[in-house]
Amino acid sequence: MSNSIKLALFLIFLSNLTDAQAIKWTKDKIGSILADTASPEKVRLIAYPTIAYTPETRWEFGVSALLVYHAAKDTTNRLSEINAFTFITLESQYGLWLDHALYTDDNDWFFLGSLRWQSFPLRYYGIGASTPKTHSALVESNSILIRERVLKKVIPSVYAGLELDYQRLGSVRFLPADESNLLPLPLGAEGGSNLGLGLGIVYDNRHNLLNVRQGFFGELAYLRYNLFSESGRHFDKTSLDLRYYQTTFKNQVLAFQVLGITANGPVPYNLMAEMGGEVIMRGYYRGRYRDNSFAAMQAEYRWLPFSFSKRFGAALFASYGNVGENLSNLGDTSWKWGAGGGLRFLLFPRKDIYTRLDFAWTKESSGIYFFIGESF
């Protein structure tokens, strides 16, 4: 047998060996993640590829990483989580998201916030609750969003402190969907920066933010924007977010959320309250309706997991909401509804964390959503 043939056979053997080792490593890695054998007090980190479909992105591909831990490795402290996500979509969107909900030892401090850097073309339908069913423009832009809350425990479960909201919109282009029907450009169409500073008070007795089985969360926040700007575009925004969770039967949870947002002054279109997305009013395209004020409520019933399964569960949900120039005229137009259901898979058994795949329908559209943790 010639040396060249021997070398070829050796390379084939080595390739097969390497492939087998890679397959074994992948299998062991996935197995260790799904088994979640780490003790509850230990830090847990997982990174994995994602594929999803939403009304805003169509097909989306990305990589996610989730870090969960208890401060001081004490499971009596609330579960802290950091979620990082980078993505690219078939709608020419890409970006990096970083969300966190962090508690210090004895739950004395609570840091709650998010960072978004993205190029995210979105359809623009106009402003108000009676906009046309078809979008008037596709808005291309690059954006940075930083929302942070630094809250100190005042009494058990009650936190108060400072809130910050910074949003920068650049390279904005409104591409008309129909050249013969051009709408006036909204305030903020040229882009720019807006900084909001304010105060917030939070009541929170939840233990696991990614999967709440019992408890209450309430946040009242007031922010004033562009205090130090000479542009004259000062405006304020007040928001109220109430969430209640009740265990009904074993492994079953009934959850409610009421959300209200109202703003006064010259509000740029990108800082207006938006209906739709993966959190509330699922099934509506994000920003399908937008205005200075927004109110919505949703209810969800969860099986976590089914009685006949250790890791699979489900949920049913419904939502109801509307937008308006102010809270007093929300009833001037018919309110919108959404409903749906989804599957759940227990990803981290020891930390009670699920992934969700939701299917949502509305009178005019539908959506599919895949994320780690419940929507609220």
pLDDT in tens, 308-366: 999 999 999 999 999 999 999 998 999 999 999 999 999 889 889 899 999 999 999 99
194-204 mean pLDDT: 97
Q: What pLDDT was estimated at residue 56?
A: 87
Which two tokens mark 57? Answer: 């992105």
Is the pLDDT reported for residue 54 higher than 90?
A: no
Residue with tokens 């847990």: 44
Is the pLDDT reported for residue 229 higher than 50?
A: yes
Residues 6 or more apart from 255 whose CB is under 8 A from it? 212, 243, 244, 245, 246, 299, 300, 301, 302, 374, 376
3-state helix, strand, coil in the chain (%, to 5): 15, 55, 30
Mean pLDDT of the chain: 89
Residue with tokens 């609330």: 78
Contact 200, 219 (CB under 8 A): yes
Residue with tokens 């959320």: 257
Residue with tokens 């959850």: 255
Q: What pLDDT was estimated at residue 112?
A: 96
Residue 46 sits at φ, ψ, to 5 deg, of -140, 140
Other residues' Cβ atoms within 10 Å of the Cβ of residue 103: 23
Q: What pLDDT was estimated at residue 29?
A: 47
Is the pLDDT reported for residue 23 higher than 50?
A: no
Contact 195, 165 (CB under 8 A): yes
Residue with tokens 């898979």: 345
Tell me how far apart the alpha carbons of residues 302 and 312 are, in angstroms, rounded to a whole number. 11
pLDDT tens, 258-274? 999 999 999 999 999 99
pLDDT tens, 276-285? 999 999 999 9
pLDDT tens, 124-163? 999 999 999 999 999 999 999 999 999 999 999 999 999 9
Confidence tier at 15 by pLDDT (50, 70, 90): low
Q: Does 9 or 366 have the greater pLDDT score?
A: 366
> For residue 100, how far is the Cα from the chain centroid?
11
Q: What pLDDT was estimated at residue 16?
A: 56
Tell me how far apart the alpha carbons of residues 317 and 339 are, in angstroms, rounded to a whole number. 6
Contact 183, 137 (CB under 8 A): yes
Residue 291 sits at φ, ψ, to 5 deg, of -170, -175
pTM of the model: 0.85
CA dihedral 106, 107, 108, 113 (to 10 degrees): 150
Residue type, 97: W
54-76 mean pLDDT: 90
> Bridge-partner residues for 258, per DSSP?
242, 297
Residue type, 84: A
Residue 156 sits at φ, ψ, to 5 deg, of -50, 125
Confidence tier at 178 by pLDDT (50, 70, 90): confident
Strand spans (E) along 71-213: 79-89, 94-103, 109-119, 122-124, 137-155, 158-176, 192-204
Residue with tokens 């047998």: 1
Angle, vertex CA 313, rays to CA 30 and CA 375, nearest 5: 90
Q: What pLDDT was estimated at residue 101?
A: 94
Q: What Å distances lie between residue 15 and 1, 6, 8, CA to CA?
A: 20, 14, 10
